[in-house]
Amino acid sequence: MTGAGDEKREISYKWAGVDIEAGARAVELFAEKIKATRRPEVLSDIGGFGALFELDLSRYENPVLVSSADGVGTKLKLARMLGKHDTVGIDLVAMCADDVVTCGAEPLFLQDYVATGRVDPEKIAQIVGGVADGCAKAGCALVGGEVAEHPGVMDPDDYDLAGFCVGVVEKGRIIDGSRVKAEDRVIGIVSSGLHSNGYSLARKLLFDSGDFNLDDQPKELGFPLGRELLTPSFIYSPVILKVAEACDLKAVAHITGGGITDNLPRVIPDDVNAEINMGTWPVKNIFTFIQRVGEIDLFEMLRTFNMGLGMMLVVPPGDVRKALEVLDMNLFRAFEVGKILEGKGLVIYK
């Protein structure tokens, strides 16, 4: 109740912490970048309650939709520490679109969700602009999303980021790993760095428990720690589709949380093992640096980080050379890193 001498307050949504005008300004700032990702199948503009996408059925005999939802994880805290928000959207698209392509599906469209304690239009524009950049790399349309302001629930400068991607694959061309057999070969495609996994360990080791700063540049690294760790993920989906066109691609594993150890078994049958030959690919210095500083066991590194391989493919022996050629022509470094043996669905390191 307001007393006689009290100033009258103007109660509004903004008074409660939600600034509708700031949200509208953010949309204005990133609208053009979103338009640049548009595909011919998109029938709606940004701003509607739902996004419309017309699937061209003439291209398929029996189309199957593939969906994925993911986030960027605690790498976002590093972005906040550095005050650099224009690349984490690329990571978001990589986590979603590259999950979809493991089934052989072409990513069609993506929606994003940004939750924040306070809408800063310029920062939101950087975040969503990065998502649009990622969609352009993946060849999918950014058809819409949501910016949600959560005052009292999140700190004003805090934010989280999630994405939802849909792709399509011909039913007869689904890649599910069921045809993998002994003597097939494993190809690893190099990563740009940590991608979006292992940051809780890296951050706690280096900054929370350690004496490192974001601008430190250890002798092993080419750039300061902050820049090394914020390097955006590679997006593989377009080149994986090209490999699938050129080769008998039997399985595709996206090396995310759990590393090679947990992700490669997800795409091979239970009656085979994947034997991975250590030393057949270059492990980036950021991984060896983290391992040295923390005196971390190699097995723990392999089940936490991607260790320099962001995607792994399984092809017949006769298709290894062709697959490597396709990857090389599209500027992705890749190596034959192992083979398939009879076993129990495990990864064996040699």
**All domains of the chain in start order, with CATH:** 20-173 (3.30.1330.10), 185-349 (3.90.650.10)
Does position 1 have pLDDT exceeding 50, yes or no? Answer: no
CB-based contacts of 265: which residues, under 8 Å, 6+ apart?
A: 274, 345, 346, 347
Does position 297 have pLDDT exceeding 60, yes or no? Answer: yes
What value does the mean pLDDT take over residues 23-46? Answer: 85
- b/e string for 114-153 if b means 16 or more Cβ within 10 A? bbbbbbbbebbbbbbbbbbbbbbbbbbbbbbbebbbbbee
d(CA 161, CA 131): 10
What value does the mean pLDDT take over residues 255-261? Answer: 96
pLDDT in tens, 330-347: 999 999 999 999 999 999
Sorting pLDDT into bands at 50, 70 and 90, what band is 7? low
Percent of the chain whose predicted confidence (pLDDT) is above 70: 95
Alpha helices in the chain (DSSP H): 20-35, 75-82, 88-100, 121-138, 199-203, 225-230, 237-246, 259-263, 285-294, 298-302, 320-329
Which pTM does this prediction carry?
0.93
Amino acid 53: pLDDT:
95
Beta bridge partners of 189: 311, 334
